[in-house]
Structure 1
Amino acid sequence: MNKQLILKELQQIINPEHILIDEHLKNHTYTKLGGKADFFVTPANVEEVQELIRYANKTDIPFTLLGNGSNVIVRDGGIRGIVLSLKRFLDIRREGNKVVAESGARIIDASRFALSENLTGLEFACGIPGTVGGALYMNAGAYGGEVKDCLESALIVDSRGDVHRLAAEDFDLDYRTSNIAEKGYIVLEATFSLEAGEYEDIKAIMDDLTYKRESKQPLEYPSCGSVFKRPPGYFAGKLIQDSDLQGKGIGGAEVSTKHAGFIVNKSNATATEYISVIEMVQKTVKAKFDVELEREVRILGEDETLTDKNRVNSSKCP
């Protein structure tokens, strides 16, 4: 099966204008890194998502979900098969004292919407750059709050293409983790249970958290955000700082001099360089403090040297 035939079949499922071939994924990641996707698709509704999953299952074409690329590194060889983005799922609405947000909406925007509705409980998310779906995937949190504190339920589509509404406890939410990847779920929308509050009080908290984020984080350079989970009994940034790694790097990627927990793409880095800096940091901290730093960021795709062998081509279906 060739690419043009796959394209023709995909065009029977979703709007042809919502399908891109050989799309550079560096255009869709916060690190500005990543090779090409064979097919980059942006469905407009739940039914299209279901049909895409069923099509991928039927044809054995690799299938990858990509959020807004804020907590992910895509390797230089890109991602084979279909890359699904829910960037068109942006609705945010109020239902009583609940905020219901589609998975492609930014969790920041859900937090701001809650503020506009005088609802409290999502203030912690006012500086988290990821999508609602991504925030649930990793139980995102900041400044003492996390998704599991206010999540009531979520609408998901499973690996067969069937839609279910699951309660928060069904996702096994823990520190920067969930069972979403293990179960093969794709989050379509999340419902957050909040409380009525005073606009000025909510805004004061959000303004304070925004100031802390902007003053301490290296937002002037592309990055994946916080790279490592907090090791028990330690702070990752402090361990990296005390290892004298700030400003150290490989190629165009280096440990931020502003916040040691961040690695920045300072000068046209490659994904290989960025990942090599992550590994250098892990090795150094392990040698100096005997502490294993576990990545918070996901790494997707393949190395550039494998691209030609594995790419969907004119003679074979993957």
Structure 2
Amino acid sequence: MLTKTLTTANIIQDLQKISSGTITDSMNGSNITTFRIGGPLEVFVEPQTEEEVRQIVLYASHHSIPLHVVGNGSNLLILDGGIKGIVLSLKKIKFIKQEQNHLVVGAGETLPSLSIRCIKLGLTGLEWSNGIPGTVGGAVVMNAGAFGGMMQDVVEEVYGFNKRGEKVVLKNHELGFGYRKSILQNNEFIITSVKLRLRSGDCEKIKETIKKIAAIRDATQPKGKKCAGSIFAIPNIYEIGNKNFKWRIMRKIFSLLNKPQLFIPYMIEKYNLPRRSGGAMLEYNNFNWISNVDNATASDVLNLSEQVRKILEHELKIKLNYEIRIVGKEKCNYSATS
């Protein structure tokens, strides 16, 4: 039961009157995340328009139904018990509108597709985002970043709705951006589109920058794996050397040997980091990545990540917080077809 008066079947029937998109009670977290992990989603809906999003937000609020918003599921770990309530996917809210050096982008647009469009439009400022599999909406919420760039550098304002279904426009300075955070994480607002402030640039130079970034990603990040990117939020993994002399010296040695790619594997061996828990495995060339290699559960991932975190916090004298979003219930105690 979702509420005292509404069954899951009732909710689905009502949502079908609101949205023309996918609505189902047979979706699992493993179907909507790049981890391919997660229990049952009580109700999953994928609206086609911003107005449908607003109507669903209003409906959930009116009936006091828990509402969880997701994008591409690339930074998300859904627990094995699944998610109770309505899971609203913004993946279909996709569009790109140009206004000179500004782009208004749907929250469901992916960062790779947006960065490629920027090449064609001759707009610079988002080269760093190519290769990040998330959506623009999710990137703003998490203030995603890489290679010295962050969403806070290019966001001018965001558009969406509050829980009363009222239109909301928030300027950059109102978003409370910080390292991998924004006020949007408090779930008070549902963001459906974003206005980005970019700069005119040379198409070939933009393309070349993206090519160089892609080469670095290929050398340091696993490809084709079932994972969710960085597990922990670390402003700059190499800046740890400023607090840890041994770390800094060893990194320098590997750089002088012209084999910087062997630095992380060396640290994994040095600190005897656990490599596996159940079907979850710590990647050998990046100890901030955990992959689902053999039908891993969310419990497998959390067990492994907690072991790694405990060791690194002790050895490197730093505090590690999760960068991935962890949502849902640890144990399923409801019927997904009630």
Alignment TM-score, normalising by the size of structure 1: 0.92
Partner SS for 2:291: strand
Residue-pair matches, total: 309
The answer for the alignment partner of 1:276 in structure 2 is: 303
The answer for the alignment partner of 1:30 in structure 2 is: 34
- Tell me which structure has the larger Cα radius of gyration: 2
Matches within 5 A, 1:42-191: 42-182=46-186, 184-191=188-195
The answer for the alignment partner of 2:328 in structure 1 is: 301
How much has 1:271 moved relative to structure 2? 1.0
Query: Percent identity over the alignment?
Result: 33
- Paired with 2:171 and 2:88, the residues of 1 have a C-alpha distance of 24
How much has 1:290 moved relative to structure 2? 3.5
Deviations 1:168-190 (A, max 9, x none): 11101111110002251111111
Report the residue type matching 2:330 in the other structure. D
How much has 1:279 moved relative to structure 2? 0.9
Report the residue type matching 1:291 in the other structure. I
Deviations 1:64-120 (A, max 9, x none): 011111011001111111000011111112111112210001012111111110111
Report the residue type matching 1:300 in the other structure. V
The answer for the alignment partner of 1:259 in structure 2 is: 286
CA shift in 2, pair 1:183/1:80, >3 Å: closer
The answer for the alignment partner of 1:244 in structure 2 is: 272
Task: Confirm or deny: 8 A CA contact 1:90 1:104 kept in the other structure.
Answer: yes
Partner SS for 1:11: helix
1:213 and 2:217 equivalent?
Answer: yes
CA shift in 2, pair 1:164/1:248, >3 Å: same
1:12 and 2:12 equivalent?
Answer: no
Partner SS for 1:129: coil
- Paired with 1:204 and 1:7, the residues of 2 have a C-alpha distance of 48
Report the residue type matching 2:272 in the other structure. D
Structure 1 runs not aligned, ≥5 long: none
How much has 1:240 moved relative to structure 2? 6.4
Task: Confirm or deny: 8 A CA contact 1:231 1:293 kept in the other structure.
Answer: no
- Paired with 1:43 and 1:263, the residues of 2 have a C-alpha distance of 31
- Paired with 1:96 and 1:281, the residues of 2 have a C-alpha distance of 47
CA shift in 2, pair 1:286/1:161, >3 Å: same
CA shift in 2, pair 1:5/1:95, >3 Å: same
The answer for the alignment partner of 1:2 in structure 2 is: 7
CA shift in 2, pair 1:51/1:210, >3 Å: same
Deviations 1:124-181 (A, max 9, x none): 1112111000000011000011111111111121121111222111101111110002
- Paired with 1:312 and 1:259, the residues of 2 have a C-alpha distance of 37
Alignment TM-score, normalising by the size of structure 2: 0.86
- Paired with 2:205 and 2:32, the residues of 1 have a C-alpha distance of 35
- Paired with 1:183 and 1:81, the residues of 2 have a C-alpha distance of 15
- Paired with 2:279 and 2:22, the residues of 1 have a C-alpha distance of 33
How much has 1:311 moved relative to structure 2? 4.8
Task: Confirm or deny: 8 A CA contact 2:74 2:134 kept in the other structure.
Answer: yes
How much has 1:198 moved relative to structure 2? 0.8
Partner SS for 1:134: helix
Report the residue type matching 2:286 in the other structure. H
Partner SS for 1:223: coil
How much has 1:195 moved relative to structure 2? 1.1
The answer for the alignment partner of 1:234 in structure 2 is: 240
Structure 2 runs not aligned, ≥5 long: 1-5, 242-246, 248-262
How much has 1:28 moved relative to structure 2? 0.9
- Paired with 2:144 and 2:312, the residues of 1 have a C-alpha distance of 24
Report the residue type matching 2:322 in the other structure. R
